[in-house]
């Protein structure tokens, strides 16, 4: 008599397991493959993604951040020690809570591939290691300058679509992921995931073969483009979500719109046994939490700007097909900066000067 009940119970358990993702931990590898001031937006893309996954619960210990990190303290930054990616600069992405794991010239193709495949020497510290296992969901985000089946690293070397595909296969063989989400924002981005052949990989990119990815808008005071269009709209979609969200990857992919992004964002899910409509966004952008998290009485600082962080703003769109083209555009933009009516700095400057002159005159007349 007991037997059918046991069968039923096992069946139910099986069913539950089939509908729930089986990962027990989350990891993320965020890579900004560019350096130099005029690539500000690639740094900002990466830091904005970093902020979002931390907000949704992936701890710093499970995030490997690869970033040239040369814009916040760049001599050309008129807002020192900050990185902004949004309208009116109301949300500083740099803050004092950013842990960069591979910095400056450490951001190389070799280091990235070694990190992914776990081929690191014994003396490499834990913060430079992807310590994922067969029950980890791994989110990989890359941004920089790319082309057909390659991504440039710091204007110095290239990683090919075959390199990354083989690295992912090694990860699969070494049981370093349960599911892997690959996201890339660069020119001809979708070609970078064209060679994947390993199971349980979902990939998405900003533009198809022969197409550029565009920046979203310029900040006239910073003097450069501050975020790329694809990343901007992905983050805008995720911004209102919290850890309990049931929204799926398919919901996100359905928002891809050529008229907004100005390039053909792509999705590849044929390698995944689970369709994106059954994978939660928080399965990759959030951390597994075994405990209930109570909201503090006062919202932490990072949450203040939620919802307002990624509002769209009117902005010029620029090609990012090559650094050289962009540099030309950036120079013209910067050259026109003091005469731009939208910039409030000259007005503030004039008012400030008037106040100073007034005060000086007052002091002078009193001293006589
Ligand atoms: C998460 O978002 C949902 C839907 O917007 C909301 O109902 C819920 O209260 C939020 N939970 C927390 C902990 O903020």
Digit-coded pLDDT (tens) for 205-227: 998 898 888 888 777 777 777 78
Protein residue closest via CA to atom 5 of ligand 1? 241
Protein residue closest via CA to atom 2 of ligand 1? 242
Question: Which residue did the predictor score with more confidence, 147 or 288?
Answer: 147
Whether residue 304 is predicted with pLDDT greater than 70 in this model: the reply is no
Centre of ligand 1 to C-alpha 243, Å, is: 8
Centre of ligand 1 to C-alpha 106, Å, is: 39
pLDDT band at 357 (very low <50, low <70, confident <90, very high): low
Hey, which of 55, 238, 244 would you mutate to test ligand 1's pocket, going by the most ligand atoms within 8 Å of its Cβ?
244
Whether residue 82 is predicted with pLDDT greater than 60 in this model: the reply is yes
Centre of ligand 1 to C-alpha 178, Å, is: 27
Return the percentage of the chain with pLDDT > 70, whole number.
73
Hey, which of 242, 246, 298 would you mutate to test ligand 1's pocket, going by the most ligand atoms within 8 Å of its Cβ?
242
Ligand 1 atom at minimum distance from 240 CA: 5
Known active-site residue 187: yes
Mean pLDDT on 334-360:
43
Mean pLDDT on 71-84:
80
Centre of ligand 1 to C-alpha 249, Å, is: 18
Protein residue closest via CA to atom 14 of ligand 1? 242
Mean pLDDT on 38-51:
89
Q: Are 196 and 168 in contact (CB under 8 A)?
A: yes
Q: Which of 25-34, 224-233, 284-293, 299-308 has the lowest mean pLDDT?
A: 299-308
Mean pLDDT on 128-156:
94
Whether residue 147 is predicted with pLDDT greater than 70 in this model: the reply is yes
Question: Which residue did the predictor score with more confidence, 74 or 106?
Answer: 106
One of 32, 187, 216, 318 is an active-site residue; which one?
A: 187
Q: What is the 3-state secondary structure (H, E, C) of the chain?
A: CHHHHHHHHHHHHHHHHHHCCCCCEEEEEEEECCCCHHHHHHHHHHHHHHHHHHHCCCCHHHEEEEECCCCCCCCCCCCCCCCECCHHHCCECCCCCCCCCEEHHHCCHHHHHHHHHCCCCCCCCHHHCCCCCCCEEEEEEEECCEECCEEEECCCEEEEHHHHHHHHHHHHHCCCCCEEEEEEECCCHHHHHCCCCCCCEEEEECCCCCCCCEEEEEECCCCEEEEEHHHHHHHHHHCCCCCCCCCEHHHHHHCCCHHHHCCCCEEECCCCCCCHHHCECHHHHCCCCCCCCCCCCCCCHHHCCCCCCCCCCCCCCCECCCHHHHHHHHHHHHHCHHHCCCCCHHHHHHHHHHHHHHHHHHHHHHHC
Mean pLDDT on 182-210:
94
The predicted structure's pLDDT at residue 88: 72
pLDDT band at 171 (very low <50, low <70, confident <90, very high): very high
Whether residue 130 is predicted with pLDDT greater than 50 in this model: the reply is yes
Is 3.40.50.1460 the CATH number for 22-288+299-352? Answer: yes
Protein residue closest via CA to atom 1 of ligand 1? 242
Question: Which residue did the predictor score with more confidence, 273 or 9?
Answer: 273
pLDDT band at 309 (very low <50, low <70, confident <90, very high): low
Centre of ligand 1 to C-alpha 247, Å, is: 12
Q: Hey, where are the domains in the chain?
A: 22-288+299-352
- Ligand 1 is surrounded, with C-beta below 6 A, by 242, 244, 295
Ligand 1 atom at minimum distance from 242 CA: 1
Mean pLDDT on 292-316:
47
Known active-site residue 23: no
Q: Which of 92-106, 125-139, 284-298 has the lowest mean pLDDT?
A: 284-298
Q: Which of 60-74, 120-134, 265-279, 341-355 has the lowest mean pLDDT?
A: 341-355
pLDDT band at 273 (very low <50, low <70, confident <90, very high): very high
Mean of the per-residue pLDDT values for the chain? 78
Mean pLDDT on 28-45:
89
Q: What is the pTM of this model?
A: 0.76
Q: Which of 103-107, 112-116, 304-308, 362-366 has the lowest mean pLDDT?
A: 304-308
């Amino acid at each position: 008599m007991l037997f059918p009940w046991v069968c039923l119970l096992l069946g139910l358990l099986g069913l539950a397991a089939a509908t729930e993702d089986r990962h027990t931990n989350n990891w993320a590898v965020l890579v900004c493959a560019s350096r130099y001031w005029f690539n500000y937006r690639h740094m900002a893309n990466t830091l904005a993604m970093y902020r979002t996954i931390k907000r949704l619960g992936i701890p710093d210990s499970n995030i490997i951040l690869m970033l040239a990190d040369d814009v916040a303290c760049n001599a050309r930054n008129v807002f020192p020690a900050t990185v902004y990616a949004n309208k009116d600069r109301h949300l500083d992405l740099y803050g004092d809570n950013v842990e960069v794991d591979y910095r400056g010239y450490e951001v190389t193709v070799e280091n990235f591939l070694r990190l992914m495949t776990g081929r690191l020497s014994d003396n490499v510290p834990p913060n430079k290691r992807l310590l994922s296992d067969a029950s980890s969901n791994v989110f990989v985000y890359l941004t920089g300058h790319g082309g057909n089946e390659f991504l440039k690293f710091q204007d110095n070397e290239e990683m090919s679509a075959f390199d990354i595909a083989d690295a992912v296969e090694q990860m699969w063989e070494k049981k370093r992921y349960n599911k892997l989400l690959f996201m890339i924002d660069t020119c001809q981005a979708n070609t970078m995931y064209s060679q994947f052949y390993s199971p349980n990989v979902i990939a998405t990119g900003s533009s198809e073969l022969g197409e550029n990815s565009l920046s979203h808008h310029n900040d006239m005071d910073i003097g450069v483009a501050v975020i790329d269009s694809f990343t901007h709209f992905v983050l805008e979609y995720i911004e209102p979500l919290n850890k309990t969200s049931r929204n799926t990857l398919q919901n996100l992919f359905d928002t891809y719109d050529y008229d907004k992004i100005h390039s053909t964002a792509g999705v590849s899910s044929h390698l995944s046994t689970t369709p994106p409509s059954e994978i939660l966004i928080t399965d990759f952008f959030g951390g597994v939490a075994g405990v209930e998290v109570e909201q503090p009485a006062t919202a932490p600082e990072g949450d203040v700007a939620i919802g307002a962080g990624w509002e769209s703003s009117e902005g010029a769109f620029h090609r990012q097909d090559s650094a050289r083209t962009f540099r030309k555009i950036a120079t013209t933009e910067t050259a026109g900066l003091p005469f731009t009516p939208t910039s409030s700095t000259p007005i503030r400057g004039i008012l400030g000067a008037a106040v100073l002159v007034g005060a000086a005159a007052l002091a002078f007349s009193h001293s006589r």
